[in-house]
Each structure stands twice: as structure tokens, then as C-alpha cells.
Structure 1
Amino acid sequence: MNYEFKILPNSELKSIIPLVYELNQGKIDKSVLSSRFNEIKNQNYECAVITLNNEIVGVTGLWFCTRHYSGKSVEIDHVYIKPEHRNKGLGKLFMSWIHNYCKEKGYESIELNTYVQNYPSHKFYYNEGFQILGYHFLKKI
């Protein structure tokens, strides 16, 4: 299959909402996601996608910043590949593409969060060379 990896223009972020909705198992309303991505597009954010025949089949957000402990850093967020495209090595290819893209932009590290109960992702990210640095805490205000 001829998958393509690319950066989606921020003006087209609405096209990823169905995938992010699936990722969150419908727990966040599509209208809320739409509103949030409308704000996100004006921040230090880019969206990387995987396409097949011009259909988006995978997505991740890229948040760019500088951190005191890791220098110029990219945080990948909302990584999702449609189930019918999994277990074909596509995630590994996507991570390699992201790594090279961020390195070419001059970034020094890639970070991510994954849910504690998502054991398959832990194994995947370990195999991709990621290490656990700490815990991510959240408090709603």
C-alpha cells in the first residue's frame, strides 16, 4: 500500500476530528473537539497525518517548545491509526518519519504521554527507544 506521511495545514484540522473522536472513544463531543482544534491551530502545533489514497488513516499532533530538561522538544499527542491499518508496521514507519521531520527542524527530543492502562502502547514506545521519565498528573480547574 502507498501510505503517505505529511504535515496537514492547520486550516484543515477539522478533517482529523473523526479520528481524534475515535481515539477518545466518543468521550469528547465532536463540537468540543472542533472548538478546541480551532484554538490549537493558533498555538505551537502541527498535525502529522498518514494518508492512503487521500484518506487520512492516522494522525498525531506535534507540540513544539523548549524545556529546561530536554532542550528543543516536540511532544507528540493524540497518536491514532485506524484499526484496519494497524499491525502492519505503519506505526513504526510513522514514528521514524516524525523523528526525521523533527530532527530536520532542529529539535533535540521527542516526548509523549500514554494512558497507564494502554499496555500495547507502552511496549510499542519502549521498542521505539522511549523511556519513562515520570508521571503525568492532571487536575481540572
Structure 2
Amino acid sequence: MFLIRELESTEDIVSAFQVMKHLRTHLDEESYIAIVRQAQEKENYRLAAYYDHNGKIVAVVGFMPMITLYYGHYIWVCDLVTSPKERSKGYGEQLLSYVHDWAKANGYEKVALSSGLQREDAHRFYEEKMKYDKVSYVFLKNV
């Protein structure tokens, strides 16, 4: 039996760091907590974890509602990561399905995300397994 649960308390957020750090390697625990808390407060960021049958967090997803002229009202998946030893077991699929269900239940018709150019396995997962369309490139400039 598995469980997907939103993480709201600081203790829960901290417990997800051991998985999140595999994706967000530039963050230490303190900065991770501060950013999650600020994003929850200001951007309605939501963090959910997949717990295995032993009650251990093995995958995490962070997402938030957004509004743009391009997509209208939609959900942006900010973070999706599975612990390296637990990959290819369907946890990412379960978490994205959770986000899709959350989106539908809350009146959103679209879910979007970006993925690093080097993450070819993730791209296959999004396109082939989850049926996402590749619709754009994301550009970034540090200022």
C-alpha cells in the first residue's frame, strides 16, 4: 500500500529534503525550507510526497497554480523527483497523476512543466509514458 500526501508542516517539508536534494542539488536544507515556505505563502506552491509501504518518502512533487496569457489558468510542475534507488517503479507516474487529479478537481485544464536538456530519460517519461506534448523551450538569463 502506498500513500500520497501533501506536505504542509515544517517537519513534513524537512522529511522530503532527502529526496528533493537529488533534483535541487544547489540547495542546502535551510535554504530549501525557506524557499518552500515562501513559495507556499506567496505563490500557493504545493508539495506532495509518495510514501512507500514502509512509510518512507521515495518521490516528491512540487506544483502551483498559475495564470498566463499563453496557457490561461494552469498548473506548473516545479519539481518532480524520485529517489535514485527507487526510479522506474511508477512513483513519478503516480505523483503526476495526483497533480492531474488535483488540477481537474480545482478547475484547471492544463498541466505544464520544464525539464533540463540533459534529462533525456525524463523527457521520454513525459512524452511517451505521460503523453505530454513538447511545446516550447525555456530560456533563462541571469541578470
Query: Normalised by the shorter chain, which TM-score bucket?
Result: 0.7 to 0.9
CA contact (8 A) 1:9 1:47 kept: yes
Structure 1 residues 137 and 50, CA gap change in structure 2 (3 angstroms):
same
- What are the Cα deviations for residues 16-62 of structure 1, in whole angstroms up to 9, with x where unaligned? 222221223x3333332222223122122111210123321110111
1:27 matches 2:15:
no
Choose from 110, 128, 131 the match for 1:129: 131
Task: Show structure 1 runs of 5+ residues with no match.
Answer: none
Amino acid at match of 1:68: L
CA contact (8 A) 1:47 1:62 kept: yes
CA contact (8 A) 1:61 1:78 kept: yes
| Equivalenced residues, count | 139
Higher strand share: 1
CA contact (8 A) 2:21 2:27 kept: yes
Q: How does 1:34-113 map to 2 (within 5 A)?
A: 34-42=33-41, 43-52=43-52, 53-113=54-114
What TM-score, normalized to structure 1? 0.87
- Deviation for aligned residue 1:10: 5.2
Which runs of 4 or more aligned residues in structure 1 lie more than 3 Å from their structure 2 counterparts after TM superposition?
Answer: none
Report the Cα distance in structure 2 between the residues aligned to 1:34 and 1:98, rounded to whole angstroms: 21
Report the Cα distance in structure 2 between the residues aligned to 1:37 and 1:46, rounded to whole angstroms: 9
Structure 1 residues 19 and 88, CA gap change in structure 2 (3 angstroms):
closer
CA contact (8 A) 1:13 1:41 kept: no
Task: Show structure 2 runs of 5+ residues with no match.
Answer: none
Identity %: 24
CA contact (8 A) 1:10 1:47 kept: no
1:16 matches 2:13:
no
Amino acid at match of 2:78: D
Structure 1 residues 10 and 140, CA gap change in structure 2 (3 angstroms):
farther
